[in-house]
Amino acid sequence: MNAAKPHTPKPDAIRHARLVVGLTQAEAANVVRSSLRGWQQWEAGDRAMPPGLFELFMLKTNQWALDRNHDDST
């Protein structure tokens, strides 16, 4: 199977995804079991968010369905 490599989400996409569901940075970090500082670095663009964690966040906050592939992070 040749699945496309997931893209690293852009900082604006990460921030937008959090704001859509009305979470603070601390609450969003907790959703994916990350530190607050880690989440802040992802939103600031200081560190790349692993694509799998972005996908997990989107699934756990019901922004993506389980049976669909999305490329909204580019």
Is residue 5, in this structure, part of any structural domain at all? no
In a domain, 71, yes or no: no
Q: Is the pLDDT of residue 51 over 90?
A: yes
Domain count across the chain = 1
Decide if 69 is inside a domain: no
Q: What's the alpha-carbon Rg for the chain, to the nearest Å?
A: 12
* Per-residue confidence (pLDDT) for residue 74, from 0 to 100: 47
Q: What range defines the domain where residue 26 resides?
A: 11-60
Rounded to 5 degrees, φ, ψ at 21 are -95, 5
Q: What is the pLDDT of residues 12-41, one digit of tens each?
A: 999 999 999 999 999 999 999 999 999 999
With a cut of 50, say whether residue 59 has pLDDT above it.
yes
Look at residue 6 in the predicted model and tell me its pLDDT. 72
Is there a domain that residue 73 lies in? no
Q: Would residue 62 be called left, alpha or beta, if left means φ above 0 and alpha means ψ between -120 and 50 degrees?
A: left
Q: What is the CATH number of the domain that holds 34?
A: 1.10.260.40
Q: What is the pTM of this model?
A: 0.82
